[in-house]
């Protein structure tokens, strides 16, 4: 699943559109969700017991035919009340148009927190081999189309994937995926935009094409059974940004990682090094203080030879002119390595 998500993100990020922004709106949306649990391997087919049905409530700030962003709260019946139960979510999101056509198809990306009611327990719920923690990260990818019923009333249709994972903080962590069809109603209040605000993100108003920064981040990973012990992961990243526009950057760099957990995995000899390094390229999309980033990397040094390529999907938040905080998920295709929290410092 991660492979398709990353490819889709890069294709979309490569397209930038310029629209007039003459008005702003606040949209209040209630939507129903219909779909089902999607197993990413045949061994999980037994978890499909029924359809997944839920409700979502959103508030969204938008400018006409431009970037939109907001907050969504949701509750979803997993379709398997005995093993998975109910799944709750609270996530921020942004969406952007895929075409220049007014009210055309848009693509939404969301990230936030999820709560899974029933998790793995060796004594009471050993049939749940997909998730080991109540608190998880929620990630949403969805294509949407809006239809106008009147000036203030709109109908929304969408189809996408909703993913819950704890980033290997607590095993098991195969992740929970839902394919969901959304049908929603929006009430929209529109007001004129009196004047264009200056961008909040001062990094991208500089008269330059290149930015250089470093990221120090870290996380915790729990190895799978039978060990189930937690290990720290520390990463130092040197990062170069090529500024294509105020909204779109291309990135590259090199990672240096200390990951002692690989010394205690069943398929790894004890004499291997806990150090890893790799080079990467990627893309960043900027929305005021918030930046969404995707990296694709290749290891230069990694004695855990089971993995050659790695990925990061992250969200960065601007604290000051030179400092950002960030949350990112490192994975090897469909296998999560760890969630990382960190600080990004712009050198120049």
In the chain, % of residues over pLDDT 90: 55
Do 325 and 285 fall within a single domain? yes
Do 145 and 209 fall within a single domain? no
Do 54 and 187 fall within a single domain? yes
Do 184 and 206 fall within a single domain? no
Do 145 and 234 fall within a single domain? no
**CATH code: domain of residue 82:** 2.40.160.20
The residue out of 152, 167, 192 marking a domain boundary is: 192
Do 340 and 206 fall within a single domain? yes
24-56 pLDDT, tens digit per residue, is 789 999 999 999 999 988 889 999 999 999 999
Task: Give the dihedral sign, CA 230/231/236/239.
Answer: negative
Let me know if residue 120 belongs to a domain.
Answer: yes
The pLDDT assigned to 264 comes to 72
Let me know if residue 282 belongs to a domain.
Answer: yes
4-25 pLDDT, tens digit per residue, is 444 444 444 444 433 445 667 8
Residue 254 structural domain: 202-346
Let me know if residue 6 belongs to a domain.
Answer: no
For residue 335, pLDDT over 60 is answered with yes
DSSP-based three-state secondary structure for 269: coil
Do 321 and 187 fall within a single domain? no
Instruction: Say if CB 142 and CB 158 are below 8 A apart.
Output: yes
Do 172 and 259 fall within a single domain? no
- Residue 255: how many CB atoms within 10 A of its CB? 23
Total domain count for the chain? 2
The residue out of 192, 226, 250 marking a domain boundary is: 192
Do 177 and 206 fall within a single domain? no
For residue 118, pLDDT over 50 is answered with yes
Do 175 and 218 fall within a single domain? no
| Pairwise pLDDT comparison (190 vs 142), residue with the higher score | 142
Give the residue-averaged pLDDT of 322-330: 92
Let me know if residue 14 belongs to a domain.
Answer: no
Do 29 and 170 fall within a single domain? yes
Phi/psi at 204 (nearest 5 deg)? Answer: -105, 10
Let me know if residue 4 belongs to a domain.
Answer: no
DSSP-based three-state secondary structure for 76: strand
Cα(19)–Cα(67) distance, rounded to whole angstroms? 10
Instruction: Say if CB 164 and CB 87 are below 8 A apart.
Output: yes
103-115 pLDDT, tens digit per residue, is 789 999 888 899 9
Element (H, E) at 258: strand 248-258
The residue out of 192, 219, 241 marking a domain boundary is: 192
Do 181 and 60 fall within a single domain? yes
The pLDDT assigned to 8 comes to 44
Let me know if residue 144 belongs to a domain.
Answer: yes
C-alpha count within 13 angstroms, C-beta hemisphere, residue 291: 30
277-312 pLDDT, tens digit per residue, is 999 999 998 877 888 899 999 999 998 777 799 999
- The CA distances from residue 138 to 91, 103, 111, 216, 250, in Å, are 7, 27, 6, 24, 25
Burial (0-12, 13-18, 19+ Cβ within 10 Å), 42: exposed
Q: Which residues of 169-202 are buried (b: 16+ CB within 10 A; e: fewer)?
A: bbbbbbbbbbebebebebebeeeeeeeeeeeebe
What's the pLDDT band for 157 if we cut at 50, 70, 90?
A: very high
For residue 212, pLDDT over 80 is answered with yes
């Amino acid at each position: 699943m991660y492979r398709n998500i990353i490819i889709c993100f890069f294709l979309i990020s490569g397209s930038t559109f310029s629209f007039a922004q003459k008005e702003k709106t606040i949209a209040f949306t209630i939507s129903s969700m219909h779909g089902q649990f999607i197993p990413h391997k045949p061994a999980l087919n037994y978890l499909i017991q029924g359809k997944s049905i839920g409700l979502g409530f959103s508030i969204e700030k938008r400018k006409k035919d431009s970037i939109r962003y907001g907050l969504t709260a949701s509750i979803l019946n997993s379709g398997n009340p005995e093993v998975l139960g109910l799944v709750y979510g609270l996530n921020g999101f942004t969406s952007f148009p895929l075409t220049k056509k007014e009210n055309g198809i848009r693509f939404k990306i969301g990230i936030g927190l999820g709560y899974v009611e029933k998790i793995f327990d060796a004594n009471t719920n050993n049939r749940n081999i997909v998730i080991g923690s109540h608190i998880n990260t929620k990630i949403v990818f969805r294509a949407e189309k809006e239809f106008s019923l009147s000036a203030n009333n709109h109908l929304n249709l969408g189809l996408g994937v909703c993913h819950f994972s704890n980033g290997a903080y607590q095993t098991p962590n195969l992740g929970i995926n839902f394919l969901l069809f959304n049908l929603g109603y929006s009430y929209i209040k529109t007001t004129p935009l009196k004047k264009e605000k200056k961008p909040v993100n001062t990094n991208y108003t500089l008269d330059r094409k290149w930015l250089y920064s470093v990221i120090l981040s870290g996380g915790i990973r729990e190895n799978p059974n039978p060990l189930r012990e937690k290990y720290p992961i520390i990463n130092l990243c040197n990062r170069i940004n090529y500024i294509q526009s105020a909204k779109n950057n291309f990135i590259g760099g090199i990672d240096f990682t200390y990951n002692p957990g690989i010394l205690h995995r069943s398929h790894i000899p004890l004499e291997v090094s806990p150090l890893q390094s790799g080079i990467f390229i990627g893309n960043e999309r900027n929305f005021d203080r918030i930046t969404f980033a995707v990296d694709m990397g290749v290891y230069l040094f990694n004695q855990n030879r089971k993995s050659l390529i790695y990925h990061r999907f992250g969200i960065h938040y601007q604290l000051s002119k030179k400092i950002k905080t960030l949350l990112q998920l490192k994975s090897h295709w469909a296998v999560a390595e760890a969630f990382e929290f960190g600080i990004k410092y712009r050198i120049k």
